[in-house]
Structure 1
Amino acid sequence: MSFVADVLLLFITIIFPPFGVFIIGGCSVDLLINIALTSLGYFPGHIHAFYLEYVYMQRRDYGLLEPFEPAPGVYSDAINTGGRQVYGAVIVEETVVA
């Protein structure tokens, strides 16, 4: 993702936290947890969504030299791997050849 996409994602999360979680993690347990936290109060949903986005962006930008341990409280593989596909112990990174 580019800087503009990251800013847009953060803006969407400010308006409606579950939609920001859905964008990075898809339909997962993390989305259901965020919906429950947002229904309990607007700020718990924000804290959870921003934590998930922090983990996602940090792992996406860091790169995967070796597999990460799952982050505490994160249940989605898409978030734990920074959006990369993981097949067993093999990590596949998409590259664009121009």
Structure 2
Amino acid sequence: MPAYIIVNTRVSDPTRIQEYRDLAQQSVHQYGGRYLVRGGPMLMLEGEYHPERLVVLEFDSLERIREWYASEAYQKAKAARDGIAQFDMIAVEGLDVPL
């Protein structure tokens, strides 16, 4: 069943975050994930949630997300953003619906 990661990012050093982005992208692709949303304009429809920059990724399953998140490749990326970005990150299982 597909699973998704939803991330709200707050970056304090836009120049240094590029190393994280490069490493994270490589690790996501290595584990079969793909980016569905990477920032971009947002339209607030309801509520009080005001994310700065949203990223949405898709993986084959929650288990694959666990593997990716614990991987050496992603841990290296995560270390590259220490002190320059804060993330709120959740993973959620999607629906397995026929097209």
* Range of TM-score over shorter length: 0.3 to 0.5
Larger relative contact order (Cα-Cα within 8 Å, sequence gap ≥ 6): 2
Tell me which protein shows more strand as a share of its residues.
Answer: 2
TM-score under structure 1 length normalisation: 0.34
Structure number with higher helix proportion: 1
